[in-house]
Amino acid sequence: MADSSLYTKLTSTAKDFVLALSPKKPGNNESDDERFLSHLAPEFAHSWGHKFYVGTQPGMQGSVDGQVFLERMNRLAGQMETWYIEITETCVDVEKKSAALKTDFYMTIKGHEPVLNEIVWWLKMDGSGEKVVESCEYIDPVASSKMMEQMKGGK
Q: Is the dihedral of CA 127, 130, 134, 140 positive or negative?
A: positive
Q: What pLDDT shows up at residue 95?
A: 96
pTM exceeds cut of 0.95:
no
Q: What pLDDT shows up at residue 1?
A: 41
Q: What pLDDT shows up at residue 155?
A: 67
Buried b / exposed e over 15-34, threshold 16 CB at 10 Å, is bebbbbbbbeeeeebebebe
Q: What pLDDT shows up at residue 116?
A: 96
Q: What pLDDT shows up at residue 43?
A: 98
SS3 per-residue string spanning 78-136 = HHEEEEEEEEEEEEEECCCCEEEEEEEEEEEECCCCCEEEEEEEEEEECCCCCCEEEEE
Question: Length of the chain, please?
Answer: 155
Q: Could you check whether the bond before residue 46 is cis, i.e. omega within 30 degrees of 0?
A: no
Q: What pLDDT shows up at residue 5?
A: 94
- Tell me the pLDDT tens digit for each residue of 26-66: 888 888 999 999 999 999 999 999 999 999 988 899 999 99
What is 4-151's CATH number? 3.10.450.50
Residues of the chain with pLDDT under 50: 1
